[in-house]
Structure formats: structure tokens, C-alpha cells
Structure 1
Amino acid sequence: MDKVHCYHCGDDCGKNPVVYDGKNFCCNGCKTVYEIFSSNDLSHYYDLQSSAGATPNVVISKYDFLDDPKIIDKLLEFNEDNLQIVNLYIPHIHCSSCIWILENLNKLNPAISSSQVDFPKKTVRIVFNPESIGLKDLVVLLARIGYEPYISLEDFGKGKKKVDRGLIYKLGVAGFAFGNVMFLSFPEYFEVQEFWLDQYKILFRWLMFAFSLPVVFYAGQDYLISAFKGLRSKILNIDVPIALGILVLFLRSTAEIIFDWGSGFFDSLTGLIFFLLLGKFFQQKTYSFLSFERDYKSYFPIAVTKIGQNNKEETVQVYDIKKGDRLLIRNEELIPVDGILINGRAQIDYSFVTGESEPVFKESGDKIYAGGKQLDGAIEMDVLKSVSQSYLTQLWSSTVFSEDKESKFQTLTDSIGKRFTWAVLTIAFVTTGFWLFYDSSKAMNVFTAVLIIACPCAIALAAPFTLGNMLRIFGRKKFYLKNTQTIEQLAQIDTAIFDKTGTITTTQKSSATYEGMQLTLAEESLLKNTLRASNHPLSRTLYDMLAEHNIVPLDDYQEHLGKGIEGQKDEGHIKVGSADFVGNATDQDIETTSVHISTNNTYKGRFVFHNHYRDGVSEVFKAMGEHLHLAILSGDNEGEKVRLEKILPPLTPMYFNQKPKDKLNFIKSLQEQGKKVMMVGDGLNDAGALAQSNVGIAISENVNVFSPACDGILDASKFKELNQYIIASKKAMKIIKLSFLLSLVYNVVGLYFAVTGQLEPVIAAILMPLSSISVVGFTTLATNFLGKKVN
């Protein structure tokens, strides 16, 4: 009698299946899950992959500990009155249908705002409303649909990650089996006919078969699973040739001992998997060694203003912040740590964390969370815990801000790897067909040797090792990139666009003179406190230049991007910004960079700035102009045009009075012409342009310029080295191509011996990891040599 399989999980339903809606289920749990899916218009889950679910086994009482507020607070990533975020580990995530259902949880319960799956880590990040669904109910819901989270309070409390020793165990099993199979093969190697034929031949052969089973189906399972998943998704990944070679060796060897044709190739099979795993172990260790500094983003030049003794303000790096410190967070600045609001009115945008753009209002004494951005003037906060650098890294690397860019970009490895795999398979099948007719005894050896010797592992390793090492080197040079893909994109740019103020000019040396009516003490105090809340480079410069005044919280503060700022205290109202913004339309001076001031709708005067350009601006533009198209996009007037024409290469295009949207549209128009554009800005008014560009670089000058829109952060002290970094990125891509060439030469030579039947599979298995090691060694030495040439 044919077995009846459960429609939801695929298990055997036994003699008495539960029938519902014309479908068979193994239990009421699976039937309930199907009811939930179908009643919420989620039955498409079963179209993605049949029998994809798991049998739910829910014991609600086991989650009673999730009613404890202290435990909940440990588990939550973010906790507001009507919004919480939790990141849960789901061991059962295994396929596309799992991703689909977990990212559609909002259809099962409207209190869930969004859910995002990290497939490699098997985690799901869920944003939900705790007033409608508690954490316990959320976990129970997941368990009921077959995705029970694994929650370890010990892990959460200590913050420890489990060490994955799976590869070491597999390597041990493969090594043990390989040694024993080689030992059992000795009689045949030395042609001990009497001993072999008369007494132990059958026993030794079946012992070799038994040793090969855990090697193939445990130690080598990663290759088989990866190949299967790739083929199921209609993708030829690099594990397909390896898996094919393993299966051919195993099946051929098994057939030989069953039909007494010979002893098979169990020595080659176990040796192949052992050396493959040994190569992978070496690669993993080497990559870990190269990556020991890869939390480079922990050392962003992101700084924040700390209020010290006597209310003295000083700029400190984020990783120097300690519990108990008092911080000043200006308008548009990121809150780097959890803390308590002390002074000021907080209007916080948590969209970086939650995806929700609705601002949250906070009053003195309320808790505020890291990752929020202050939108309404300056606030003061007490720090509750030191900065979570990994959390800032997570915000910067969030797929929410990089998905569009990355989805449109194909890496060099992607474009070459697929073609290489097709070529290997074609050569393997063609040569095997030839040997079947010419000398069938060599056909299987040739087929397996070709698949192994021509494995594109070396190609797959070239890019990660080269770019990973370059990422580390750039980090040491104070050029912090979001990911390795940014280096590939940086190597392709043909156009560079620069903002002016705060980008090619420095606020460290700027000076200004005041022209106009004398300001009263009250007006000076209001001006100083309004400037204190702003993060614009000109505001910061002017704030540092003005005399000290008592710090007072403003009643109202607003910043208008590209125009100016305004503040109010009691009956006093002040506007600071462009002439049009403050109401002085008669001032048409385009010869200077000015900040105008009006109080209570009366124009008072202006501060005229004398810009100081960064050291090496002329040299940087001259060097970059030799291989890139350059342009200046500035929100200021044309006051500096004549001076810029003297500094910059002749005929460099310059565009002034550009609003943030104008900059974005300008870059978009260049991209529509096929240009690869790099935008260099200050991370404030340029956020849209940085996001639109192929590569967005934010210049950091001792201020908190954190912006998820940028792909890289360049320390201002390294501005004159920018062209070197671009050249180094291009050379890094040449190193990858040379690695591909090295791998190709190796493969051509190896294929010659494999195709002509002169190469045994076990020898090929030894040579394959050696080729990978040679590529790793070459890329590491080459990138380290390249890094020494970069200042």
C-alpha cells in the first residue's frame, strides 16, 4: 500500500490521516497550520515548495518565562511603548518557502509590522506592537506554524556565540576513515594474492564501503546539500562538480564490490573528501586570521559631544563613551547609546532601527535608544551603557539602505564562476564519452579527476580574500567601507562629484567677520543656543567662534535643509541661514559665503566666511582628473567660484545654489547616461545624493556624520589620499583577475593530465586544495604589498 504523506510537513500520515479540505494531514497540528495559512490568504506557501512545513508541537506553558519583564528586556533589541523588535533564531528555516512565510507574518497577525529573515544565520527580525501581541504570544504563533524559536537565556545574558565545530568533526571522521581505507587497501596495492583472494577480500571491501558511508553522507554532506539546493534553484554553483565527483566515485565503487568487478575507489573517495575538508579548514583559518580586525567599523571616526566638568563641551570618539557620561546630541545626529533624556525636547526618528518614519516624542526622564536620530534641536542625555559598536555596524550595513544598489550590481566572481562551472561540466562529459569508446576502464577515473582538478574553488576564493584584506587595509588607513562589494564598485567609477562646504573646505581653519547691526546680549545668547543645536559645518564653525553664553533649552527649533535654521526662546525668535530664508531678498552678493541673521522678523546682518580649503585639494583634483570626470555641486552661492577656478583643474564644472533634491537629480541624470558616479559629501545635506550614487563617501571631520546612505566614511585627515584609495581599488581588481589567470593556468595543466587519463582522483584531490592555498597566498601577499604603497 502506498504511503500517504502529510500535505503540510511531508511526514507519513499512517493508517488514519486527518482529512481536511480534501487534503491529508499527519496530525491536527499540521491541519491547524494549513487552516491558518489558507484563512489568511497564505496558501501560496505550498506553491513555493510542497511539504515545506514542520510538524508543530506546541506546549504553551513552556514559554511562561516570557511573561517576565526582566527577561523580555534582555531578549528585545528595541523596546518602546507601542513598538518592540526581537531577533529570534529559528533552526527550522531551510528553504524559500520558509523565508516567504516568515516574511509574511503580518498577514497572520496585523500587530506584526514587518519581519525580515537572515537565511544564512537562520534568524528572523520581527517588529511588532506589544499592546496587541506580546512576545510570548508571538513566539507561540511561530511555534504553531512550525517555526519554533530557539531561545537560550544563558546565551543572551552572556552575549556569547556558540563555536561551530562541525567542520572539525567532519574533518576528523574523514581523516579516520581515509586512514583505515588506505590500510585496508594495502593487500591490493602490494598484490598479496593468496592473502587477498583466499581469506579476506570480501571482508576488506565491505569494511571499506562501511567506512565510506559516514564520509560521504556526513563529512561530505555540505557539498551534496549545496549542489542540490543550487540545482533546485536552477543555479550551477561551484559545489555541483564536486558533488558529482563524490557521487560518481561512491556509486561506481559500490557497484564494483557488489558485482565483484574490483575493489572500487574508496581510497580515492575518502581521500578526496578529507583533502577537500582540509583545504576548507585551512581557508577558514586563514580567512579568520585575515579578518581578525574586520570589525573595522567599530572604529568609525564617528564622534559625539561629551559634556564634561563645568559644562565644558568636548568631542570624543564613540568607543570612548562610558556609562554615566553626559552627551550633547544635536539636530540630525545619531543617538549612539541607550540613555536617559535629561534636557531638551526629543523628537526621535527611529526609522534606522524600526523602518517606521513616524517620530517619537520624549520628555525629560524618558529612556531613549541607540540608533534613533534627533530631529528637534539639541538634547542632553545620560549614558546607561557603553556604545554597541556592532549595533552601529548593523545599522550601517542594513539591507534596507543597500538593497537597491546591491541588487543592480553583479560581482566579478558571479559573472565568471557560472561560466567556469559550465565549462568544467562540458569538458568532463565530453572526455568521459570519448574514453567510454576508447578505453572504458579509464572513463570513471577521467570523469572524476576532471571534476576535481578543475573545481573553481580557487576562483571562488580569490575575490573574498583579496577584497577582505583590502577592506582591512583601508580601515587601517582611516577609509572605512561598508562591505567588500563597495571596493568593486569603487574600482568601476568614472565620475566623481564633490560637495563644497565641509567636504573640500575645512571647518577647522575657517574664520568669519560680522557685518550689520550690533546684536544685544539676549540675541547673542539666542543665536549661540540655536547654533548649538545644528550640525551643519558653518553652524559648528560659527558656534565655536562666538563668545560663551549660558546654555538654555530652546522652546522651538527647526532646521530647513539647504536653507537655514530657526530657534525661539520666550519672546525671542531668530533665523540663521541664506538671505532669502531670513527675509533679506535685496542682498544679492554672490562674491562671498555668508550666513545671514534676522531676529523677530528684523534683518540684523551677516557673518562673512573666509573658506579654507583642505590641504592637497588641488593635487587630489589634478590626479583624479586624469582618469575621472569631476564636478562641484554646492548648496552655497557663487562667492567662491573665482577662487575655485584657480585651485581646481581648468574647465571643472561647478554648480551652485543646489538644493539636496537638485544634487540627487543631477547624479541620477548622469547615471541615465551610463556613468558610474561617486559622490563625496558631508553626510548631512548630501544624504539623498550619497544614496543615489554608485558609491557615496561621507567626509568625517570630528563630527557625528553617521548616515546609512553612505557606502564609506573617509577621515578628513586622509582627504588628499582619496585618489590613492580609488587607484588601490582598481589594482585590487587586477589582483583578482591575476588570481583567476593563475587558477586558469593551473586548471589547463591539470586538465591535460586528467583528460589524458594520467591523473588519479586521489592525486587530484591533493592538488585541488594546494591550488586554493596558492591563490590565497598570492592574493594575501599581493594585497599586503599594495597596502604598503597606500598612505
Structure 2
Amino acid sequence: MDTHSCFHCGLEVIKKEEIVFDGKSFCCKGCQTVYEIFTDNGLSSYYDFEKMPGASPQAVNGKYDFLDNEKIAAKLLEFEDEGTSIVSLYIPHIHCSSCIWILENLHRLHRGIGSSQVNFSEKKVRIIFNPKETTLKDIVLMLCTIGYEPYISLENYEKGKTASDRSLIYKLGVAFFCFGNIMLLSFPEYFETEEFWLDQYRGFFRWLIFALSLPSFLYSASGYYVSAYKSIRNGMFNIDIPIALGIIVMFIRSTVDIVLGYGQGFFDSLTALVFFMLVGRLFQQKTYSFLSFERDFKSYFPIAVTQIKAQQEEVSVPVYDIQKGDRLLIRNQELIPVDGILISNDCQIDYSFVTGEADPIHKKSGDKVFAGGRLLGQVIEMEVLSSVSQSYLTQLWSNDIFQKKNESHRRSITDAISRYFTPALLLIAFLGFSYWIFIDANTAFNVFTAVLIVACPCALALTAPFTLGNVLRIMGRQKLYLKNAGVIEQLAKADMIVFDKTGTITTSKASDISFKGKPLSAVELSYIKNLLRGSNHPLSRRLYDFLPVAELRIVHGFEEITGKGIEGIIDGNCIKLGAAAYVGYETSKTTQTAVHIAINNDYKGSYVFDNQYRKGLEQLFNSLSKNYDIKILSGDNDGEREQLEQMLPKGTELLFNQKPEQKLEAIRKWQETGHNVMMIGDGLNDAGALAQSNVGISISENVNVFSPACDGILDATEFSKIAYFLKLSKKAITTIKMSFTLSLLYNVVGLGFAVSGKLSPLVAAIIMPLSTVTIISFVTLASNYYAQKLKSKTGRA
């Protein structure tokens, strides 16, 4: 049939269903309404930045009534005063320049809004509004009306006002100021100018340089002193000890030079060293700071729930105010926040968030329902058994065994080398000083200083942060977001990869759908399509999208019975879709998920839903099996064992019906046999296994919604790139080792000249930053080269 794209949201709409307004085609009344709102307020430029940038607005139906509760609304605000309030809202739909433009012009849609600012990378809009003219609820509803519904969860309620740590930025700014000005003031000394003005003011400039070095020495470099002190106190040698010692020695030696009139010292090199070291730390921090990896149930729970008071009064209350014995109202698709007893007749609950099982669970009146389940179907009432902090979900998440992590394998490659480098460097410095002190005291001091300066392991220390930081950036661009740089080292060490099944190697967004039964005519397919149109059940929506476009028909007497099916009258024909027993077919023996069909009580067959495995799964497993031991560890049943055995490499171990504790124990047993285990899973039931594994990666359909405590989040669309990421991590370690070798060769040559007394501290101080720049350039170019090389190989494969 003739189809058009909706002018607002871009969805395809058939000719008979389209709404034409102002010469433009719309898929629904909602999109038309948004268009009218924008044009009436002079905001039609929204459509100039991007074509079809909008989203069809969804009905909220009292979803945000809890914002009428002033206590809840106040908790969401960043700032609140008599005439000004500020709130930051997460808007998942933000994706293009049109979104930024319209959200920064909200003041033209609502007079109570003073201004709004978009943070594109975090998909947040910060709104300043006048509480006397509007409310937070009105703003949220207005955003929903124009297709930018915010996501509000308990995490927002708990966080309140949080100040980000900007101390590193301040230290870097101070270090840069000191470094730049000292370099500028040092030029006359560099060129040994003997002008009259220099002779007159030489002492003044040197003491000015000394004064400028103090903020960098005392404030910017303070983190290294603290780290070195803690390391020594704990009886360990980390890389910060020689760095701190080198900075201190350079400062003392430079101060002595100025006091005794020997020269201006090495304050330029000292401030340069501090600046470059802090740049390395900032580079690493900024790469992964925009994502939260330690999210828990709070970021997924509702912020408030409807409580049924006396006389059946329905009131929205904060989740933490719920007490044992309270009566709650849970609507379709809402999360159950606490454990309780079902009062209503029956319901279907999706526990995939907790258990990983995709099939919904049927509950009847009097059954216990657990927190974390999502209600499917009609509204239910339940009685609370325990508060949110005592629920099963909270206990599972907070259990010590799920938080326990063996940190012995977390020692970085830099720390491993510093264990030997640091004592060796100090030994060489003191031996050199002891030898020359009996020959020439001045040379002895020069040798001691030159050794620490030329061998100060700034290049060595920057090798890993810059290499791993750059690889973090590369992986982040390809939607693998790692918790920190150390995870890359653990990826490189892994020799066993364990996969969860449901939601990990299968996708929750699609299914293979096949029909079994009598052939259906085009008219019968149109009947089924139109009946499905009125249902919000997940299977109904998936089947509706699967069926071909059909002519729109009127459905009479539509009825949806939760857990059973739907029925209606179309053109005088009675259509039933749902469970086998519901449509009158009692002999179904299939263990697969299916939607059965009967037309006028004549059974036609069923649409069978098979799990859709992720694209490129077989190729990925074949590639990984060459270098890794592959395991499948699933909480689901073994109904698809044969299919998986055909897809997986021969001999792959498959374990089904695994509870969260059993998954964790299986990982632990493999580790005890000497394996470095990488776990790839999703859902709360994988949290224990992800925490126990050497490196845990969570697969997520939406990285900004939820992920258990893990080492990294992989966007589900990039699942086929797992082998690429593992190879890149190994190349990153290779780059680090090559850089270490280069740095150590430089140190050997430099130390040879320094110990022999042929290298002055000034020359050593000039060479040191040059070596740092060389190392940084090398590791950046090398890691980019390997990333492109592996990407091209993966593309050809």
C-alpha cells in the first residue's frame, strides 16, 4: 500500500491511516498536536535542523501524579528558593540538534520557565523555573506532550544535591599557571643574556620564580605526597614514591641554588613534571566519568507508589515511606517495589529483572509477590510484607557474597614494575652519591640530583595511563564503557569467557516468529492484525510488528483477559488470540512460547516465538574458541540446548537452571583451577557472577537505564565486537610493554651519564620532559594504529 513518513517522528503510515494537516502527513493525533504547539509558538525551526526529529507523545494517564506530593518534588530539585527552582531531568529521546534547540527554548512554550540548558552527552536538560507560576509536574507533563518524556526513578529521589569533585581541575589549572609563567620568566636564563636589566633584576626574577613554584609544589603535587606516604606506611613501593622524591629533591636543590646564587634551579622542569602528570590523570578520569557503573536497584525502582488509604483514597507516597501492612495499587508495566501478598484475583509478573527468565509468572490471590517484578496487564492490589530496604531484591543486591571481589589480581602492570624500579632507582642514587662524596662533594650532590631527575619515572608512570586512557576512549566510541583502565589489563589476561543466555546471547528486542497450522488468508491476517492493535501485551506488540501492513478495520467488543488472551468481533467474525486453552485448543504440548488463533471457534494454528540470537553469534564463538575456553551459564531452562549445541563450538559446556548463587560458585570453581574468568551477562541474577569474575561485562539494551555492579557496560548492538575488544586489550598491553622498554633504555643511558658525573642536573631536567612527550606520542600513535588495524581485519572477516 501507499505509505508516507510522519513529518514529526518519521514513522511509516499507510495512506488510509494518515492525518493530513497544514499540507503535512502525520501518523497520529499526538504528532499533529506537537506540530501545532511548535508552530503556534514560533518554534517551527525545530524541523529545520533535522528531518523528522520528534517522537510520538505517549499517554501518561496519571503516571506523574506523585509529583503533587511536595515532599517528593522537593527532593528532585537541585535548588529551591521563593521565586526560583532548578531541576535536572534525564530525557532519553535527546539525539540530535533539533532536540537541543527545542529543549533550550522551553521558555517559549511555558511562561513559568526562565531558561533551560541541555547536556547532550548525558541526555539531561537543566531547567530554571518560577514555582509561583508553574510546578514541576506541569513541566514534566509539558515535556511529555511534546514527545520528550523524562525518566524519573528512585535514584533521582535519593541523590538530591551532589557536588562533583573538581579538585583535579583546580590542581591542573594552578600547575599550568605556574608552569607557563615560570617558563616565560626563565627565557633570559636559558639564553644566558648579560644585559644590564637582567643583572639588576636577576635576583628578583629568581625569587619570583620560586614564589610561583610554591602553589604547584605544595598544592598541585600534594596527591603524590599523600600516595607515597600511604605506600611507605603500608610497606609497599608504588610508582608515586620516586615521583614524589624527585619533585622534593628538585625543589630542595633549586631552592639551594637560588639561596647560594648558583642559578635559578629547576623550577621550570618541576612545574612541567607536575603539569604533565596531572594531564595524564585528567585524561584518564574524563574518559569514563560520564557513566555510573555502581548502579543498583535504586536506579530502576519507581520513585513513588500509589497507596490505598481509608475509604479507598489513592495517594502517591515515596517508596521509602511504605511500611508493613500498607495496601498498594500497582498498574500495568509498573515495577513492584516491595515484597507483599497479592490481594487481587490473579496477574502476570515479569521477573526477568531478578531471575533472567523471560517468561512471565502467573500469580493468584494470596500468593507472595517479590520486589523487582514488573506487572503485565490489569491493575492489582497488594499488601506490603516488608519495607523496600528489607525486600528480597535489596537483600539479593546487598548480600556480601555478591559484593565480594578478589582484588589480588587487580595490581596494575605499572605497580608491578614500580616494585623493582623504585628501590633500584633509590639504590643507584645513593650509591652514586656515596662514591662521589669522597672525591668531590659538589659532584656527588649533582650526581644524586641528576639520577633522580633523569630517571624520575614520569614517562614510565604516564605510559599506562595514556595508553589505557586512549584505549578507553576508543572502546567508548564503539560503545564498550569500562569502569577504569585496570579493566583493560584484566581483559588481556582472560582465558575463559562465560556467557549468560537470556538477554545476553539472545536479544529481548526481537524474536523469530513462525506460524504452525492452517494457511491464513489475507483477510484473516488483517483480522489478527487489527485485533492485536488494541493490546499492549509484549507478545501482542511483537506479533503486531511482525505481521504485514493490513487495512484498518473496526473491532467491536474488544476484551483482554490477563494471562489468557484477547478477543473481539470484526466484520461479524469472532476472533480469539492467546493461550491454547483460551481459544479452545486443549492438546497443545509445545514448551515454546506461542500465541494460538481461533476464528469463529475454528482453531487455525499458532505463532511460535523462538529466541532471537544476536547477530554474528556463531562467528563470534568460532573466533573466541581459538584462544578462549567458552562456557554458557544460564538461569533459563534447557529447552534450546540442541539449538545452542549446533551453534557453539564442539565441547562447549552448557549449564542451565542456574540460580544466582550457583552461577557465582561456578565462576569461583573455575578460578580455583587457575582460570582468569570473563563473565558476560545481564540482569540482577548475574550480579554475583559478574562481581566474582576477574572481569564482568554487562550487556545492556540501554546503557543509561540500569546495569548491575560490573567492570564494564557493552551496548547490545556491539555484541559481535567482543573478540575485537579482547584483541585490542592485548595490543594495549603490548604497547605498554614496548613503551616500558623504550623508557627503560632511556633510563639506562641517562643513568650511565648521570652516575659518571657527565650529566648536569640542568641537562637532565631538559631531557626529562622531552622523554615524556616522546612516550606520550608513541603510546597514542601505537594504540590508534592497532585499533584501526584490528578494526579493518574485523571488517574483512
TM-score of the superposition, structure 1-length normalised?
0.55
Task: Specify the alignment match of 2:752 in structure 1.
Answer: 752
Q: In the alignment, which of 268, 271, 284 is matched to residue 271 of structure 1? A: 268
> Structure 1 CA distance, aligned partners of 2:324 and 2:558?
29
SS at match of 1:430: helix
**Is residue 219 of structure 1 aligned with residue 220 of structure 2?**
no
> Structure 1 CA distance, aligned partners of 2:755 and 2:435?
10
8 Å CA contact 1:593–1:636 kept in 2: the answer is no
Deviations 1:453-485 (A, max 9, x none): 111112221222222222221222232333322
Deviations 1:634-663 (A, max 9, x none): 344444333333322221222233334332
Quickly say closer, same or farther: Cα 1:358–1:553, change in 2 above 3 A.
farther
Task: Specify the alignment match of 2:450 in structure 1.
Answer: 449
SS at match of 2:410: coil
Write the mapping of 1:320-719 to structure 2, written as runs, cut at 5 A.
335=300, 375-377=373-375, 404=405, 409-506=410-507, 508-511=510-513, 532=538, 593=592, 609-683=609-683, 685-701=685-701, 706-719=706-719
SS at match of 1:511: strand
Task: Specify the alignment match of 1:85 in structure 2.
Answer: none
8 Å CA contact 2:459–2:771 kept in 1: the answer is yes
8 Å CA contact 1:529–1:551 kept in 2: the answer is no
> Structure 1 CA distance, aligned partners of 2:560 and 2:316?
13
Quickly say closer, same or farther: Cα 1:204–1:760, change in 2 above 3 A.
farther
- Gaps of at least 5 residues in structure 1 are 1-66, 78-154, 303-331, 382-397, 516-520, 533-537, 558-564, 568-575, 578-585, 598-603
Letter in 1 for 2:664: L
8 Å CA contact 1:459–1:740 kept in 2: the answer is yes
Deviations 1:645-685 (A, max 9, x none): 33222212222333343323222221222322122234354
8 Å CA contact 2:677–2:695 kept in 1: the answer is yes
Quickly say closer, same or farther: Cα 1:282–1:607, change in 2 above 3 A.
closer
Quickly say closer, same or farther: Cα 1:631–1:185, change in 2 above 3 A.
closer
SS at match of 1:459: helix
> Structure 2 CA distance, aligned partners of 1:358 and 1:482?
41
Quickly say closer, same or farther: Cα 1:277–1:296, change in 2 above 3 A.
closer
Deviations 1:498-531 (A, max 9, x none): 223333334524226689xxxxx9xxx99x9896
Task: Specify the alignment match of 1:121 in structure 2.
Answer: none
> Structure 1 CA distance, aligned partners of 2:556 and 2:442?
93
8 Å CA contact 2:506–2:612 kept in 1: the answer is yes
Quickly say closer, same or farther: Cα 1:611–1:619, change in 2 above 3 A.
same
Quickly say closer, same or farther: Cα 1:218–1:163, change in 2 above 3 A.
closer
> Structure 1 CA distance, aligned partners of 2:622 and 2:330?
51
- How far residue 433 of structure 1 moved from its aligned partner, in angstroms, is 1.0
- How far residue 697 of structure 1 moved from its aligned partner, in angstroms, is 2.6
- How far residue 707 of structure 1 moved from its aligned partner, in angstroms, is 2.0
Which deviates the most, 172-181 or 466-475?
172-181
SS at match of 2:502: coil
> Structure 2 CA distance, aligned partners of 1:478 and 1:743?
32
> Structure 1 CA distance, aligned partners of 2:254 and 2:162?
51
SS at match of 1:657: coil
Letter in 1 for 2:727: I
8 Å CA contact 1:253–1:263 kept in 2: the answer is no
Quickly say closer, same or farther: Cα 1:656–1:175, change in 2 above 3 A.
closer
> Structure 2 CA distance, aligned partners of 1:495 and 1:614?
20
- How far residue 554 of structure 1 moved from its aligned partner, in angstroms, is 11
Quickly say closer, same or farther: Cα 1:705–1:678, change in 2 above 3 A.
farther
Write the mapping of 1:255-270 to structure 2, written as runs, cut at 5 A.
263-264=261-262, 266-270=263-267
Letter in 1 for 2:427: T
- How far residue 429 of structure 1 moved from its aligned partner, in angstroms, is 0.8
**Is residue 780 of structure 1 aligned with residue 780 of structure 2?**
yes
Quickly say closer, same or farther: Cα 1:419–1:624, change in 2 above 3 A.
same
Deviations 1:364-407 (A, max 9, x none): 9xx9999x9954525999xxxxxxxxxxxxxxxx9998773557
Q: How many residues align?
A: 540
Letter in 2 for 1:711: D
> Structure 2 CA distance, aligned partners of 1:550 and 1:349?
40
Letter in 1 for 2:473: R
SS at match of 2:261: coil
TM-score of the superposition, structure 2-length normalised?
0.54
SS at match of 1:764: helix
> Structure 2 CA distance, aligned partners of 1:729 and 1:553?
55
Letter in 1 for 2:688: G
SS at match of 1:650: coil
8 Å CA contact 2:459–2:775 kept in 1: the answer is yes
8 Å CA contact 1:184–1:204 kept in 2: the answer is no
Task: Specify the alignment match of 2:388 in structure 1.
Answer: none
8 Å CA contact 2:302–2:319 kept in 1: the answer is no
- How far residue 448 of structure 1 moved from its aligned partner, in angstroms, is 0.9
Deviations 1:131-182 (A, max 9, x none): xxxxxxxxxxxxxxxxxxxxxxxx9799997994554444444554566577
- How far residue 492 of structure 1 moved from its aligned partner, in angstroms, is 1.4
> Structure 2 CA distance, aligned partners of 1:647 and 1:712?
26
Quickly say closer, same or farther: Cα 1:786–1:348, change in 2 above 3 A.
farther
Provide the alpha-carbon RMSD of the alignment. Answer: 6.0
- How far residue 257 of structure 1 moved from its aligned partner, in angstroms, is 7.7
Deviations 1:289-317 (A, max 9, x none): x887756649x9x9xxxxxxxxxxxxxxx
Deviations 1:589-609 (A, max 9, x none): 8xx655799xxxxxx999864
8 Å CA contact 2:638–2:656 kept in 1: the answer is yes
Letter in 1 for 2:478: K
- How far residue 629 of structure 1 moved from its aligned partner, in angstroms, is 0.8
> Structure 1 CA distance, aligned partners of 2:437 and 2:546?
86
SS at match of 2:662: helix
- How far residue 274 of structure 1 moved from its aligned partner, in angstroms, is 3.9
> Structure 1 CA distance, aligned partners of 2:558 and 2:422?
67
8 Å CA contact 1:683–1:690 kept in 2: the answer is no
Task: Specify the alignment match of 1:18 in structure 2.
Answer: none
Quickly say closer, same or farther: Cα 1:241–1:510, change in 2 above 3 A.
same
8 Å CA contact 1:417–1:456 kept in 2: the answer is no
Letter in 2 for 1:508: A
> Structure 1 CA distance, aligned partners of 2:592 and 2:680?
20
8 Å CA contact 1:184–1:208 kept in 2: the answer is no
**Is residue 720 of structure 1 aligned with residue 720 of structure 2?**
yes
SS at match of 2:697: strand
Letter in 2 for 1:464: P
Write the mapping of 1:4-153 to structure 2, written as runs, cut at 5 A.
74-75=77-78
Deviations 1:560-581 (A, max 9, x none): xxxxx999xxxxxxxx99xxxx
Task: Specify the alignment match of 2:226 in structure 1.
Answer: 229
> Structure 2 CA distance, aligned partners of 1:514 and 1:349?
48
> Structure 2 CA distance, aligned partners of 1:238 and 1:357?
54
Write the mapping of 1:188-267 to structure 2, written as runs, cut at 5 A.
207=204, 210-211=207-208, 213-222=210-219, 225-226=222-223, 228-235=225-232, 236-245=237-246, 247-248=248-249, 251=252, 263-264=261-262, 266-267=263-264
8 Å CA contact 1:453–1:751 kept in 2: the answer is yes
SS at match of 1:508: strand
Quickly say closer, same or farther: Cα 1:514–1:659, change in 2 above 3 A.
farther
SS at match of 2:375: coil
- How far residue 242 of structure 1 moved from its aligned partner, in angstroms, is 4.7
> Structure 1 CA distance, aligned partners of 2:480 and 2:557?
36
